[in-house]
Amino acid sequence: MTTVNKKEIEKFSQLANDWWNPKGKFKPLHHFNPARIKFIKEKLTSYFKLSPKSSKPLRGLKVLDIGCGGGLLCEPLSKLGANITGIDASNINIKVAKLHAKKMNLDIKYIHCPPENLNIKKKFDVILNMEVIEHVSNVNQFIQTSSRLIKKDGIMFVATINKNLKSFLFGIVGAEYILKWLPIGTHDWNKFLTPQNLEKIMTDNNFTANEVIGMKFDIFSNSWKVSSDTSVNYISTFLKN
C-alpha cells in the first residue's frame, strides 16, 4: 500500500524548477511562508519551552517535513536551528531542494520517499504535514504512517483547506480561475477536509487535538496572517499519545 497519488506527484514534478522563483508558479507559497514560519516558531518555542529570543531558537529539535517540495519550509527552519529532514515523493523536487540547500550552505537531509518508506533510528520531535494531505491517495493511511515516525508527546502540524462552499469559491474558483494565484487543477475540492473530520482521523491514530488556527489573506497589508477564521485555510496541531 502507498499513500502516493501518482497524478499529483507528476503535476508538482512538472513545476519543480520553479520552486525558488518568488514570482513563479509557487508565488502563493512564498507569500504564505512568513506567516507559517512565524506560527510554527512560536508554537514550538512555547511547547518545548525554548528561548524565542535566541538566534537559533529551534536548536536541538528533530523535525520532519513531509512533502517538502523544493524546501521552502525546510530552509528557514534550518536557519532557526532545527535539525530538519525533508522527504518528498517527487525525485525532481528533492533534487531541486538539495541543490538550493547546498547553494545556501545549509545542512538539511533530503530523501526521495513517501513516509511509509522512511526508515529511521530515532523518532522525530516534530512532523510538518503542510498543504500535503489534500494531495495524498489515502489520508488515514498517510496519518497512520506519519504516526509511527513521531515521538510520544511530539507535535504534528497539519495545514490544509476546509471543505465548504466558501473554500470552493475562494480556494479553487478565486485562487485558480480568477486571481490565477495557482495553476488550474492544483486542488480537488473533494479532497478537502473539515477540521472536525481531520481531528477524527488524527484521534483514531493516537493523537490528541491541540489547537486550530485559520490563515487569512489581508488585502490591506498584502500579506497572510493568523486568524480565528478557519473557513478556508487552517492549521491544526496535534500531540502524539
Residue 179 confidence (pLDDT) above 70? no
Q: What integer pLDDT is reported at residue 189 of this predicted model?
A: 74
- Alpha-carbon span 118 to 95, nearest angstrom: 17
> In this structure, what C-alpha cell is assigned to residue 159?
495545514
Which domains does the chain carry?
6-240 (3.40.50.150)
- pTM for the full predicted model: 0.89
* Amino acid residing at 142: F
pLDDT tens digits along 92-104: 999 999 999 999 9
Q: What are the DSSP calls for 141-156, one per residue?
A: HHHHHHHTTEEEEEEE
| Lowest-confidence region among 3-17, 74-88, 136-150, 225-239 | 3-17
Q: Is the distance from CB of 77 to CB of 58 less than 8 angstroms?
A: yes
Percentage of the chain surpassing pLDDT 90?
66
72-101 exposure pattern, b = at least 16 Cβ within 10 A, e = fewer: bbbbbbbebbbbbbbbbbbebbbbbbbebb
SS3 (DSSP) at 111: strand
> In this structure, what C-alpha cell is assigned to residue 140?
488515514
User: What does the DSSP 8-state code read for residue 53?
Assistant: T
